[in-house]
Amino acid sequence: MSERIKVRPGDKEELQQAEMELCLHRIFKRTLTFILSVLIFTFLTMYHLGPSLKIFQIMMWYKRQKRGVKVKYVEHEGYRFCYFSRGQPGLQPSILMLHGFSFNKDVWLNAIKLFPKGLHLVCLDMPGHGETTRLLGESYTAATQAQRIHQFVKCIDMDRKPFHLVGTSTGGMVAGLYAILYPSDVCCLSLLCPAGLRYPKASDLVKYLKKQKRSMQSHNFLKHGVYHSSRTNLQHLKGYLAASRPDKAFYINYFLDLSSAKSKYSLHDNMSKIRAPTQIIWGKDDKVLDPSGADILANAVVNSQVHMLEKCGHFIVLDRPRKSAKLLLQFYHSVCGNVDSKIWT
């Protein structure tokens, strides 16, 4: 006869508990697998659909939430300025950042995540860009844009104390003119590969456009602005263009105004009048504006310092966000005093 195995009540409870733990482990494993699958699918979707305006807007909204910035609007005589800010004006000078042609304020998001959160920071949509009013009949010469930005500065009471003004590309051109026209507003100035100078030779971009006979609306020129023209970088660049509400007539008008006799070399012709301590940052591999512009500025601006970045193209804050943020903070620290933050490497 076969022996019958008796199961004690205690053993039965242990067996049930073990089965329950095994069941919970399976449920946890399946849930984790599902979550990871969703994340991977989301990442791949965003990667491949990066140029899509809707996807790009969602990405930028998420970045703004992570950076703790708030989009705001202010009007002056029916003209609306759009900007985002973080922190409150305090004892230390504020920072005003100006983007370049065809971009918008979001271009600074990768860099400002490294700035101390207590520092008052303002990133503005330049005249006609982003959600700032676009007027086809308006002049967009550098000096006129500087006047518009001065209106904005007064609207948000930023002119109560001198601030650190930062500008890149055409935004750097306008920033330089602003520092000349309104010297009492600017305690220090940072110019990242600014336009508006007389370069000894034509840029690779100009040569390329002439050779290919591309129109201004072509996206092909974007790859000349970054050192690594990867798919991700190009998607972001296309996204910035899409988010700026593309308008061929506006961009042509804007470009013609900036390249007019009144504006084209306005920074070059007036740069010796800059009195604020000035930081010049340029990418050594800039194919849009010749890197020799750094020496041209440094020789004309009395109190200036130059930083040439390795493996960096024209879009400095996209190519080297950490390095550019570190340089901006170090310069701010040297001119405006201690900043309660860690300097990143």
Q: Is 286 a catalytic residue?
A: yes
H/E element holding 88? Answer: none
Contact 316, 192 (CB under 8 A): yes
**Six token digits for residue 163:** 């601030």
128: left (phi over 0), alpha (psi -120 to 50) or beta: left
Strand 79-86 relative to strand 95-98, pairing: unpaired
Q: Is 260 a catalytic residue?
A: no
Instruction: Tell the residue number behind the tokens 């879009």, with chain if given.
Output: 315
The catalytic residue among 102, 314, 319, 324 is 314
Spatial strand order in the sheet of 163-168: 70-76, 79-86, 121-124, 95-98, 163-168, 186-192, 278-283, 304-309
Q: Is 125 a catalytic residue?
A: no
Instruction: Tell the residue number behind the tokens 């998607």, with chain if given.
Output: 235
The catalytic residue among 286, 290, 307, 319 is 286
Decide: helix, strand or coil at residue 238. helix
The catalytic residue among 169, 190, 244, 304 is 169
Q: Give the Cα separation of 269 and 197 in Å (integer).
A: 8
Amino acid present at 269: D
Q: Give the Cα separation of 294 and 299 in Å (integer).
A: 9
Contact 84, 69 (CB under 8 A): yes
Q: Give the Cα separation of 246 and 60 in Å (integer).
A: 18
The residues annotated with a catalytic role in the active site are 169, 286, 314
